[in-house]
């Protein structure tokens, strides 16, 4: 049954891909045999207080550089849970999560799934099917796209007010995504500094933004003008954060050197059963 489910008409001679489940199975989490115990009420309240304090002392929206905005804690807890559930469902089906390999044979330190179009890390290009099993990428759920479009609009309003601009589209253009790359980093996951530049020349030239959702454990995110990590700026991306880089910032080098263990909000883990680690979705226009 499972074997037929993942075999497409074109994949007779291709190896089977074993689905990766980003959530801990219910039976395991109930028996308490693995991972976290339920947090006490005290621990939950402490977490809430910490969040509130954090917002008193820091800005919610931050302009990191021209065309690059961080919307902190932008995605509500219930939307984060819905995104996890949808990614789990799609990730276990045809075209779901797998561990990609670069041209030199090195494995990426994460699990990946493409929605809308397939991105091939070996060829560094997009296509309609992936080579490992010939599967077509699932479509991007409409509710994901709505959230992306709203996040860009909110960033534009913020930039306009912060920079007293009238031509905000020149700084951060609007974008309706047709590609989403979903990455799941386990606690040892990481991603080297790179540029996102495999979209069409038209999309890149217009500086159509990359929109990134972070869910689960926090990550260090490096960004800069070259591949040297020592020269890069660092920002911590937490669960619910949305990072947008477009316009002049579209070609920044960026990467994830490490994931912070046990940093996901306990209520998120409890309600979604997300495995330890970080779920990241990056949306783009081909």
For binding to Mn ion (CB under 5 A), which residues are involved? 196
Give SS3 for 24. Answer: coil
3-class SS letters over 120-146: ECCCCEEECCCCCCCCCCCCCCHHHHH
CB count in 10 Å sphere of residue 282: 19
Per CB under 6 A, contacts with ligand SIN among 119-178 are none
Q: Does 24 bind ligand SIN (CB under 6 A)?
A: no
Per CB under 6 A, contacts with ligand SIN among 238-277 are 254, 256
Which DSSP state fits 7?
Answer: -
- Residue choice 24, 203, 273, 282 for contact with ligand SIN (CB under 6 A): 282
Closest approach of ligand SIN to the CB of residue 183, in Å:
5
When CB distances are held under 5 to 8 angstroms depending on the partner's kind, the choice from Mn ion, ligand SIN, none that residue 212 binds is ligand SIN
Which has the closest alpha carbon to 38: 276, 270, 272? 270
Closest approach of Mn ion to the CB of residue 26, in Å:
33
Closest approach of Mn ion to the CB of residue 196, in Å:
4
Are 43 and 266 in contact by the 8 Å Cβ rule? The answer is yes
CA distance 96 to 280: 14
Closest approach of ligand SIN to the CB of residue 226, in Å:
16
- Residue choice 183, 239, 272, 273 for contact with ligand SIN (CB under 6 A): 183
Are 197 and 204 in contact by the 8 Å Cβ rule? The answer is yes
CA distance 35 to 28: 9
Closest approach of Mn ion to the CB of residue 167, in Å:
27
When CB distances are held under 5 to 8 angstroms depending on the partner's kind, the choice from Mn ion, ligand SIN, none that residue 88 binds is none
CA distance 194 to 244: 16
When CB distances are held under 5 to 8 angstroms depending on the partner's kind, the choice from ligand SIN, Mn ion, none that residue 280 binds is ligand SIN
CA distance 94 to 91: 8
When CB distances are held under 5 to 8 angstroms depending on the partner's kind, the choice from ligand SIN, Mn ion, none that residue 118 binds is none
Per CB under 6 A, contacts with ligand SIN among 211-230 are 212, 221
Q: Which is nearer to ligand SIN, 158 or 221 (CB)?
A: 221
Q: Which residue is nearest to ligand SIN (CB)?
A: 280
Q: What angle do CA 85, 245, 152 make, to 5 degrees?
A: 65
Q: Which is nearer to Mn ion, 6 or 245 (CB)?
A: 245
Which has the closest alpha carbon to 243: 117, 78, 62? 62
Closest approach of Mn ion to the CB of residue 184, in Å:
15
Surface-to-core class of residue 270, CB atoms within 10 Å of its CB (0-12 exposed, 13-18 middle, 19+ buried): middle
Closest approach of ligand SIN to the CB of residue 53, in Å:
25
DSSP-assigned beta bridge partners for residue 108: none
Q: Tell me how many residues contact ligand SIN (CB under 6 A).
A: 9
CA distance 138 to 114: 7
Which positions touch ligand SIN (CB under 6 A)? 181, 183, 191, 212, 221, 254, 256, 280, 282
């Amino acid at each position: 049954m499972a074997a037929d489910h993942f075999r497409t008409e074109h994949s007779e001679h291709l190896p089977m891909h074993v689905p990766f489940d980003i959530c801990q199975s219910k039976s395991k989490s109930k028996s308490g045999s693995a991972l976290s115990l339920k947090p006490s009420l005290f621990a939950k309240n402490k977490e809430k207080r910490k969040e509130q304090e954090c917002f008193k002392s820091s800005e919610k929206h931050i302009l990191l550089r021209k065309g690059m905005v961080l919307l902190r804690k932008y995605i509500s807890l219930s939307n984060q849970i819905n995104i996890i559930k949808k990614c789990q469902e799609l990730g276990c089906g045809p075209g779901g999560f797998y561990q990609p390999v670069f041209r030199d044979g090195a494995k990426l330190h994460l699990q990946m799934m493409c929605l809308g179009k397939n991105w091939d890390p070996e060829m560094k290009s997009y296509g309609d099917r992936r080579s490992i099993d010939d599967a077509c990428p699932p479509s991007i759920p409409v509710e994901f796209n709505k959230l992306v479009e709203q996040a860009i609009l909110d960033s534009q309003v913020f930039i306009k007010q912060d920079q007293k601009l009238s031509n905000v589209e020149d700084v951060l253009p609007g974008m309706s995504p047709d590609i989403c790359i979903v990455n799941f980093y386990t606690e040892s996951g990481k991603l080297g500094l790179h540029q996102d530049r495999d979209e069409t020349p038209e999309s890149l030239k217009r500086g159509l933004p990359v929109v990134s959702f972070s869910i689960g454990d926090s990550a260090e995110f490096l960004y800069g003008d070259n591949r040297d990590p020592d020269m890069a700026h660092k920002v911590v991306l937490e669960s619910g954060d949305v990072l947008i880089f477009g316009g002049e910032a579209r070609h920044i080098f960026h990467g994830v050197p490490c994931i912070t263990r046990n940093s996901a909000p306990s209520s998120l883990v409890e309600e979604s059963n997300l495995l330890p680690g970080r779920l990241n979705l990056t949306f783009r226009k081909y």
